[in-house]
Amino acid sequence: MPRPRIDVAIRPLAPEDVEHVKWALYEAVAWNPERVLLPPFELTIEHPELARYHRGWGRTGDIGVIAESGGVVVGVALCRLFTEDDHRHGFVDERTPERAVAVAEDRRANGIGTRLMEALAESARAAGFSSLSLSVDAENPALRLYERLGYRELTRDDDGVRMIIDL
């Protein structure tokens, strides 16, 4: 069945868009509503494990793109650099930003995630980066999408699948 067409404009994330960064991070963690029972948004997003992805947003290496439809935010893709001393599962090295993405639940499967990740890759390339990494749960259907976009698997363990793409 052909996908419905949605008019979407994609623009760079600005430092003042940090609330949308937080929304995307929360959606990414809560990707499986049948399995994950998370504390309320405000508690989850300020937990140190997740806060390291948005705190002080706008620092060197922070890159993001935002999709809007009719003035409403419908998706966000972002990446951030981490260090050997401060990172989570998706970390590869200090030159490779780790990427996150989310699309509003009622807008998924319309190609918005694909467009966001292509736009993010383009922005990261333009900023001088040569790769992006990510971590995804092995059961998340997003894994198929990442493979289609050219990400390749690096490691697989109880914490998920770590992937990388060359830009």
Which positions lie near ligand COA, rule CB under 6 A? 27-28, 31, 101-103, 108-114, 136, 140-142, 144-145
Query: In angstroms, what is the minimal distance from the CB of 167 to ligand COA?
Result: 18
Query: In angstroms, what is the minimal distance from the CB of 138 to ligand COA?
Result: 11
60 vs 159, beta carbon nearer ligand COA = 159
Report the residue closest to ligand COA, judged by CB: 113
Residue indicated by tokens 């990740």? 117
Query: In angstroms, what is the minimal distance from the CB of 113 to ligand COA?
Result: 2
85 vs 157, beta carbon nearer ligand COA = 157
Nearest to 153 by CA among 142, 144, 164: 164
Please give the backbone phi and psi of residue 160, each rounded to the nearest 5 degrees, phi first.
130, -170
Judge residue 134's burial from the number of C-beta atoms within 10 Å of its C-beta, 0-12 exposed, 13-18 middle, 19 or more buried.
Answer: buried
Q: Are 75 and 116 in contact (CB under 8 A)?
A: yes
43 vs 109, beta carbon nearer ligand COA = 109
- C-alpha distances in angstroms, 96 versus 8, 114, 130, 139, 163? 28, 20, 7, 24, 11
Query: In angstroms, what is the minimal distance from the CB of 30 to ligand COA?
Result: 8
72 vs 128, beta carbon nearer ligand COA = 72
